[in-house]
C-alpha cells in the first residue's frame, strides 16, 4: 500500500519536483504560509531608503538591502516568521543538479512560522560576479545563505522587493554606461623593465582575496608560514604578464587608471569580502 504524505511535509523547489509541489499545495497536503495582499503592499511600501546600500561602479551598480536589515524588518513586522532551508536526505543544506555533465549547487530557502510555511525558492550558490561555483567552500555557502535570506523575505513578504526590479533585464542606463566605458581611452602605463630575480628565488605576490583562485590556477603557491602567495622566479620570467598585477608595486610605476577611479577601486577591494554575503542577487 502506497504511503500517504503527512500534512506539513517539506516542500522543495527543485526543478524536478515543481509539479509534485504544486499538486501538494492544491490538494491541501501542505500548510501554506501566506500574508494577505494589504499586508504585502504595506511591507513593500516600507520606508527603507536609509537602509539601502550601494555597490559597484562603472557598468555595474547594485542597490540592495543587507541580510541583517532584512531580518530586522522581518522580525519587527512579522515576529513569528523566520527563514529556514530545505535539507537533502543526508541532512545537507546544499543541493546539486547535473547540467551538461557539470554539477551546479543551490539552496532552497523558505519562510515558516514553525507550523505553516511557504514554498521554497531556488537560489544558486554564486561567486561575487554572480557566476556558478563549481566547488563551493564553506564561506561560499555561508555568503549565499545570507543572500538567500534577504531574497526569500522579499519574495514572500514584499520587504525590500523593490531592489530586485529589473535585475533580470539590464537597464538602458547600464547599457549606455558599458558602451561609454568601452570607448574611454585608457592612459597606458610607461613600460618598466621588471626587476631581476635570481633563479630559484620565490617572489612575493600581493593577491586580493577575490583573485586567489585565479592566481592559484596560474601556478602560485600559498606560503603558510608567511601567509602570502608566491611564485618561483623561473615561472615569473617565463610568463611575466600573467603575474605583473600581483608583483609588489614600486614607486616608479604609473597607474593605468585615473586617480579617482583607483581610489574607488581600492575602497571596493578592501570591503569586498564582507560585502559579498550581503548582495542579494
Alpha carbon distance 274, 143 (integer Å) = 9
Percent of the chain with pLDDT over 70: 63
State whether residue 83 is helix, strand or coil. Answer: strand
Query: What is the C-alpha separation between 8 and 95, in angstroms, rounded?
Result: 21
Does domain 15-178 fall under CATH 1.10.357? My reply is: no
User: Would you state the pLDDT for residue 6?
Assistant: 42
Please give the Cα distance from 128 to 277 (Å, whole number).
Answer: 9
CA distance 213 to 76: 40
CB 25 within 8 A of CB 7: no
- The 3-state DSSP class for residue 40 equals helix
- The top-scoring range by mean pLDDT among 52-61, 138-147, 230-239 is 138-147
The domain ranges of the chain are: 15-178, 190-253
Mean pLDDT of 66-73: 92
Measured between alpha carbons, how far is 192 from 188 in angstroms, rounded to an integer?
A: 12
Q: Quick one: angle between helices 138-157 and 67-77, nearest 10?
A: 40
Band (pLDDT 50/70/90 cuts) for residue 253 is very low
Side-chain-facing half-sphere of 232: CA atoms under 13 Å: 6
Sort 49 into a burial class: Cβ within 10 Å, 0-12 / 13-18 / 19+.
Answer: exposed
- The predicted model scores a pTM of 0.53
Q: Which residues pair with 205 in a beta bridge?
A: 229, 247
Indicate whether 266 pLDDT > 80: no
136-174 tens-digit pLDDT? 999 999 999 999 999 999 999 999 988 887 655 455 555
Amino acid at each position: 500500500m502506497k504511503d500517504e504524505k503527512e500534512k506539513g511535509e517539506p516542500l522543495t523547489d527543485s526543478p524536478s519536483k515543481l509539479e509534485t509541489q504544486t499538486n501538494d499545495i492544491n490538494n491541501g497536503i501542505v500548510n501554506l504560509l501566506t500574508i494577505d495582499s494589504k499586508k504585502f503592499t504595506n511591507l513593500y511600501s516600507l520606508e527603507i531608503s536609509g537602509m539601502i546600500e550601494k555597490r559597484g561602479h562603472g557598468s555595474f551598480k547594485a542597490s540592495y538591502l543587507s541580510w541583517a536589515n532584512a531580518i530586522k524588518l522581518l522580525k519587527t513586522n512579522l515576529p513569528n516568521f523566520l527563514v529556514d532551508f530545505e535539507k537533502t536526505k543526508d541532512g545537507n543544506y546544499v543541493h546539486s543538479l547535473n547540467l551538461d555533465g557539470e554539477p551546479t549547487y543551490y539552496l532552497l530557502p523558505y519562510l515558516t512560522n514553525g507550523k505553516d510555511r511557504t514554498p521554497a525558492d531556488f537560489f544558486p550558490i554564486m561567486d561575487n560576479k554572480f557566476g556558478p561555483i563549481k566547488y563551493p567552500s564553506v564561506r561560499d555557502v555561508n555568503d549565499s545563505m545570507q543572500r538567500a535570506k534577504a531574497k526569500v523575505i522579499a519574495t514572500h513578504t514584499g520587504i525590500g522587493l523593490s531592489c530586485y526590479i529589473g535585475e533580470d533585464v539590464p537597464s538602458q542606463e547600464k547599457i549606455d554606461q558599458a558602451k561609454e566605458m568601452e570607448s574611454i581611452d585608457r592612459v597606458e602605463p610607461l613600460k618598466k623593465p621588471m626587476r631581476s630575480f635570481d633563479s630559484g628565488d620565490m617572489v612575493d605576490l600581493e593577491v586580493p582575496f577575490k583573485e586567489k583562485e585565479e592566481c592559484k590556477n596560474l601556478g602560485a603557491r600559498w606560503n603558510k608560514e608567511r601567509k602570502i602567495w608566491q611564485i618561483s622566479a623561473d615561472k615569473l620570467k617565463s610568463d611575466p604578464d600573467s603575474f605583473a598585477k600581483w608583483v609588489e608595486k614600486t614607486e616608479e610605476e604609473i597607474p593605468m587608471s585615473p586617480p579617482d577611479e583607483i581610489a574607488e577601486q581600492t575602497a571596493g577591494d578592501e570591503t569586498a569580502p564582507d560585502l559579498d554575503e550581503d548582495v542579494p542577487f
